[in-house]
Amino acid sequence: MTITIHELIQTIIASIVDTPLEDTVDVVKIGDPHQPITGIATTFLANRAVLEKAVAQRANLVITHEPIYYFHHDTTDWLAGDPVYESKRQFCEDHNLVIWRFHDYWHMHQPDGILTGFLKQMDWESKAQPQKPFLVDLPPTRLEDLALLFKHKLGIPTVRVSGALDMLCSRLSLVLGAAGGRWQIETLRNENADVVVCGESNEWETCEYIRDAQFAGQRKALIILGHANSEEGGMAYLVDWLQARFPGIPIVHIPSGDPFHYI
């Protein structure tokens, strides 16, 4: 049975919440959602490289976790006439692409879809606390070795670390993405975590708390993976989640890639 993109989106939302959110960024960003669906591509961020690969895969729905127009709410009035924005918009229109953001609902899923995918990447599903799966308990592990484990498991070239490299870590708090310094710091204290693992962190917030913690006799640490590196796995896991609900529809994951070079 052929369904439209709109029908598919509504089915996804209904499987997570009873009533759709009134205030959410999870809306169609561009394209006609009433066209029949031909295929789905999931990604952390729908950049131009991802969109071109989606077209090559004959996917006309791209489900992105983050905004496509360089601002959380994807307002575009400030981009009118900008050649980068206009080129991206024109590409989508030329190929009848629909881009839908899946951020708020995926985090609202029980358990959090992004966190679930990350735990699968790390093979930590059995190590996460059942009632608080963002907390992971490990055998005592040196901070430096933990950082190297992330590089290996996630296939990333570098991580940023604040804290004593030889400290032993047992409890990790996974605050993926860019939740903000206050949340990161509070989870270190309230959950008795040794290390907070995040995607991004302002440099005057958590890392400075970590430096001051050393002088207060507190062995605490911070590991920064990069926003995309911390959440891409959750959008890869979305493929399995969707395939169980929409058999027969081609669904692929297209990584957005780390935007930085490391020199």
* Domain range list for the chain: 5-109, 113-227
DSSP string covering 177-231, please?
Answer: S---HHHHHHHHHHTT-SEEEES---TTTHHHHHHHHHHTT---EEEE--HHHHH
- What pLDDT score was predicted for residue 2? 84
Residue range 47-65: mean pLDDT, rounded: 98
Q: What is the mean pLDDT of residues 63-82?
A: 96
Q: Please state the rounded mean pLDDT for residues 219-241.
A: 97
**CATH code that applies to domain 113-227:** 3.40.1390.30
Question: Which CATH number applies to 5-109: 3.40.1390.30, 3.40.50.720, 3.20.20.70, 3.40.630.30?
Answer: 3.40.1390.30
Can you say whether residue 25 is alpha, beta or left, with left for phi > 0 and alpha for psi between -120 and 50 degrees? alpha
Q: pLDDT category, 262, cuts 50, 70, 90? A: confident
Mean pLDDT of the chain: 96
Position 63 scores a pLDDT of 98
Kindly tell me if the per-residue pLDDT of 209 is higher than 80. Answer: yes
Residue 57: per-residue pLDDT: 96
Asked whether this chain's domains 5-109 and 113-227 adopt the same fold, the reply is yes
Please give the Cα distance from 104 to 137 (Å, whole number): 27
* pLDDT above 70: residue 29: yes
Q: Region 77-92: what's the mean pLDDT?
A: 97
pLDDT tier at 1, thresholds 50, 70, 90: low
Mean pLDDT of 118-138: 97
Q: What is the mean pLDDT of residues 173-177?
A: 97
Q: Is pLDDT larger for residue 258 or for residue 90?
A: 90
- SS3 at position 118: helix
Once rounded to an integer, what is the mean pLDDT over residues 211-215? 94
